[in-house]
Amino acid sequence: MYRMEDVPDASLEELCPVCGDKVSGYHYGLLTCESCKGFFKRTVQNKKKYTCAENQECRIDKTHRKQCPFCRFQKCLSVGMRLEAVRGDRLRGGRNKFGPMYKRDRALKQQKKALIQASGFRIENNRAFINHQRGLMFTGGLLPLPILHSTALHDPESDHISYQPASRFSLLPSNSLGPTEFASLSDGADKSEYINNCASSSDGSYQPYSRPFSPQGSRMPHLVMEFMRCDPDELLLQNKIATHLLQELKDWGKGESPNTFSLMCLIADQTLFSIVEWARTSIFFTHLNVSDQMKLLQNCWSELLLLDIISRQVLYGKEGYLLLVTGQEVSYLYVSSYAGPTLASLVKRGQELVERLHILKLNRQQLACMKFFILFNPDVKQLEDHQYVESVQEQVKGALLDYTLCKSPGLLGCFAHLLLCVSELRTLSSLAEDYLYCKHLNKEMPCNNLLFEMLHAKENCA
DNA sequence: ATAGCCTTGAAG
DNA sequence: CTTCAAGGCTAT
């Protein structure tokens, strides 16, 4: 019996993010199967136009992939396959500019594997995950984790927690490129490099999400595209936070491990760092002076943190489980057994919000807008550049409205519902802050961290 | 049209 | 030289 880490090339054990078939290598930006590689090539080379007979949401898997080329191609694009990697000149052989990216992705996977080994996680067989979602708890798992393991209520036999294989997410989404790589992609006049007109904006900058074959009705406002560029990639984030967490755990000492609550604080803290980093380097925010930046972040950190958690459930989560930023899944059964009444009701309302956003079919584009909407809150007191913040929020609102109307033309209420969700989020975040503050008063909170500082900063403002 | 296998050729 | 992701070929 093979263990995952003994398999010669684990990357080939992964599944095609488009259809779930066996991966044959890197093709057009990421690991895919041979058939989707061919399909993507044919489509782009021959400039094929497909239409969907259904509602543009056909399920694409190994058996159904032939049925709707429209949805298959949509999925190709949405998981991050690159139009630019299909050569306009049909030149054969050699390498293109994606080479270094593939190399980096390999290194990342290697690192992740090492991480998983070091931490005692057992990665699940992806095939098992796709085929037997129901039975997973009993078959795939075997996961007594060092993390999330210290509460007496957790029974390792019942496998409430499982490791979430990263390959469910797009492995190399368009926005995982660094700035230098953006530059190198956009100025490519290489003879073997096919830059599609539609993939480059008029100012020459790279626009990952514009697509030449986009169906009518999903044209993306320019601003939404800008937001998407600022949006961190889930897999990179997962790696970063998992790495950090492991380091912290090592520092913690061998003997005792932190309790579940402390662990959650560590994770929240790291997430908060990533949120601040996101804001710090984002469009519009960089134009503000530091003082206003601080005020905005102190105002909305908990909303953004909560939105991060909730959106993860909507976009990637599965029923009955809480998906952590580290990729682990925690059964709600476990959560509720652990939580007191306050936390339990928070979690319940959170789940309801997840459900509402799920029904609204929240996607990453809308999420990106919501984050900016929350960040640029003109209600924050004593802003030096109040007018600017207000105008940004108006622009964000406009972009979200445009995008949402394009996306679901029939559903006028969709936009309004999203705003209602933002408002519910605000309520929940305020409750969550209260909860954390109580924890702090009871001296149950670790306090040398950003989470604690944020909690404190607001208290001083109020 | 699809998808498995083949050939090519610049980068390392 | 070897690698391996690009395009090409062809039976289904």
Which chain B nucleotides are covered by protein, judged by CB under 7 A?
1-5, 7-12
How many of the other CB atoms lie within 10 Å of CB of A239? 19
Output the six-digit token pair for A380.
């924050």
The CATH architecture to which A13-88 belongs is 2-Layer Sandwich (3.30)
Cα separations (Å) of A266 from A182, A280, A334, A391, A453? 32, 21, 19, 35, 13
Strand order in the sheet with A321-323: A161-163, A328-331, A321-323
Q: Which amino acid is located at A124 in the chain?
A: E
Cβ within 8 Å of residue A220, ≥6 positions away:
A209, A210, A214, A365, A403, A406
Phi, psi (5° rounding) for residue A350?
-60, -45
Output the six-digit token pair for A133.
């979602």
Separation of CA A44 and C1' C6 in angstroms?
A: 14
Asked if strand C contacts A47 at the CB level, meaning under 7 A, the answer is no
On whether A342 is known to bind a ligand per the annotation, the reply is: yes
Output the six-digit token pair for A38.
């061919």
Amino acid whose CA is nearest the C1' of C8: A92
CA–CA distance, A330 with A353 (Å, rounded to integer): 18
- Asked if residue A329 lies in contact with residue A164, where contact means CB atoms within 8 angstroms, the answer is yes
Beta bridge partners of A31: A26
Tokens 């029904």 locate to A359
On whether A404 is known to bind a ligand per the annotation, the reply is: no
Q: Which nucleotide is nearest to A41 (CA to C1')?
A: C7
What are the pLDDT tens digits along chain A (462 aa)? 444 444 445 555 688 999 999 999 999 999 999 999 999 999 999 999 999 999 888 999 999 999 999 999 988 988 888 888 999 999 999 998 888 888 877 877 776 666 555 443 332 323 223 222 222 222 222 222 333 333 222 333 333 333 333 333 332 333 333 333 333 333 333 333 333 333 333 333 333 333 333 333 345 677 888 888 788 877 778 777 877 777 777 666 555 556 778 788 888 988 998 899 889 888 899 999 888 999 999 999 999 999 999 999 999 888 888 888 887 788 888 888 888 888 899 999 999 999 999 998 898 889 999 999 999 999 999 999 999 999 999 999 999 998 888 877 777 788 889 999 999 999 999 999 999 888 888 877 777 788 888 888 766 555
Asked if strand C contacts A86 at the CB level, meaning under 7 A, the answer is yes
Output the six-digit token pair for A94.
């050699």
Which chain C nucleotides are covered by protein, judged by CB under 7 A?
4-9
Distance of CA A88 to the CA centre of its chain: 32
Asked if strand C contacts A96 at the CB level, meaning under 7 A, the answer is yes
pLDDT in the model for residue A111: 65
- The CATH superfamily label for domain A222-460 reads Retinoid X Receptor (1.10.565.10)
Separation of CA A194 and C1' B8 in angstroms?
A: 18
Asked if strand C contacts A413 at the CB level, meaning under 7 A, the answer is no
On whether A209 is known to bind a ligand per the annotation, the reply is: no
User: SS3 of A161, please?
Assistant: strand
Per-domain boundaries in chain A: 13-88, 222-460
